[in-house]
Structure 1
Amino acid sequence: MTRKDWTYTFILFVIAFVSRIIPHYPNFTAIGAVAIAGGMAYRNWIPALLATVASMFVSDLLVNNLFYAEFYGSFVWFTPGAVLIYSSFILSVFIPRLLKNGNSTFKWLVSSIASTVLFFLITNFGVWYQTSLYPQTISGLLACYVAAIPFAINQLLGTLFYGALILLAFSYVDKRLVQTV
């Protein structure tokens, strides 16, 4: 990886980590934006996965074992459903790579929407399937999806907001690296 790649990876990690530990609306974080930005910024997908997964893992350790310690009762490496959550964001890294045509703004918007929908479908199916919160019927699945719509809206807004922040940070880094090289 180049110096620029490491700088981008660090920026993505910090933005995602901070967005998850500061008070925020449910699902209004930078994780989706980090996955998409990484998928767009790097030729190799490894740094994008590193930034996405590392920021989630480190912030999960902090959030689950400090802020929600009384909820879990003991140290937690991964919460129930973590596989689905992490998988959704890992898949989101590849979404912008599937879009062959269009400018970067178009790719960003389509990828943000697709990432949110992917996360919504996968994780809420998991909630329906793995818990007793909803009956194991089509009606129960639909009720689970309907109840999750406000969270999906927050996630899309968070992805778009933090995406703009990331694009500004990348622009700043590009200008600074050009000046220092």
Structure 2
Amino acid sequence: MQDQKLNIRFAVVTGMILVAALFRIFPHPLNFSPVAAMGLFGAAYFSKRWLAFLVPVLAVFASDIVINNVIYAHYFEGFTVFYEGFFWQYGSYLLIVLFGLGVLSKVTLPRILGGAIGAGAIFFLVSNFGVWLGSPMYPQSIGGLMACYGAGWPFYQATFAGDLIFTSVMFGAYEFIKLRYPALDFQTQRIA
């Protein structure tokens, strides 16, 4: 019975992360994305920590393949698996999951909202640091780094909104479904 509960929860959590990844493929405002919510959601609800890292990152990777080779294929020459600076973005995704494992060890509304805010800050700081470090556009100085963060600031508004909205929807939907299907209750099963 316990294994069946874990398999059902795994399927639901994985399915919700994959559905969220599909939103990256549809037209949306720049930087309004479910990526941070996917990482936080995986961190909160996968009982095995390695799945919390693997499933959201693979979902992002799969959506990146479609984005790079279908939606924005005209920006690349040939089939593109990785784009310039991808490791900064993926590094921030892994840090978001790590952050989520700590913050969401107990799932509560304040922790969910704090996680969404913190995840957006992690993405902003890491991804823009990568732009500064890898771009000749900014001097390699504190002033150049601050200029890079300043240039990225307008995009952070959509990141912040996306993180709050997607995190609220994913966690809210899961908690609602959990009321109907108690087998999804995580708090009683996180021992493993």
Q: Same fold (TM over 0.5)?
A: yes
The change in CA–CA distance for 1:46 and 1:102 in structure 2 (over 3 A counts) is closer
Q: For each residue in 1:43-97, what CA deviation from the matched residue of structure 2 results, as whole angstroms up to 9, or x when unmatched?
A: 3222322331122111110111111111112111011111111111111112133
- Which residue type is aligned with residue 160 of structure 1? L
- Is 1:5–1:47's contact at 8 Å kept on the other side of the alignment? no
Task: Give matches, 1:31-46, under 5 Å.
Answer: 31-46=35-50
State whether structure 2 residue 10 is matched by structure 1 residue 5.
yes
Q: Distance in 2 between matches of 1:128 and 1:136?
A: 7
- Is 1:34–1:52's contact at 8 Å kept on the other side of the alignment? yes
| Partner in structure 1 of residue 78 of structure 2 | 74
- Give aligned-pair identity as a percent: 30
Which residue, 24, 30, 33 being the options, matches 2:34?
30
- Is 2:43–2:104's contact at 8 Å kept on the other side of the alignment? no
The change in CA–CA distance for 1:140 and 1:47 in structure 2 (over 3 A counts) is same
TM-score under structure 2 normalisation?
0.84
Q: Cα distance, 1:102 vs. partner?
A: 7.5
Q: Cα distance, 1:159 vs. partner?
A: 0.9
Instruction: Judge which range, 131-140 or 157-166, deviates more.
Output: 131-140
Task: Give matches, 1:119-158, under 5 Å.
Answer: 119-158=123-162
Q: For each residue in 1:100-121, what CA deviation from the matched residue of structure 2 results, as whole angstroms up to 9, or x when unmatched?
A: 8976111112211211111111
TM-score under structure 1 normalisation?
0.89
Count, aligned residues = 178
- Which residue type is aligned with residue 67 of structure 1? I
Higher helix share: 1
The change in CA–CA distance for 1:24 and 1:59 in structure 2 (over 3 A counts) is same
CA RMSD of aligned residues (A): 2.0
Which residue, 148, 171, 177 being the options, matches 1:173?
177
1:43 alignment partner, SS class: coil
Q: Cα distance, 1:24 vs. partner?
A: 1.1
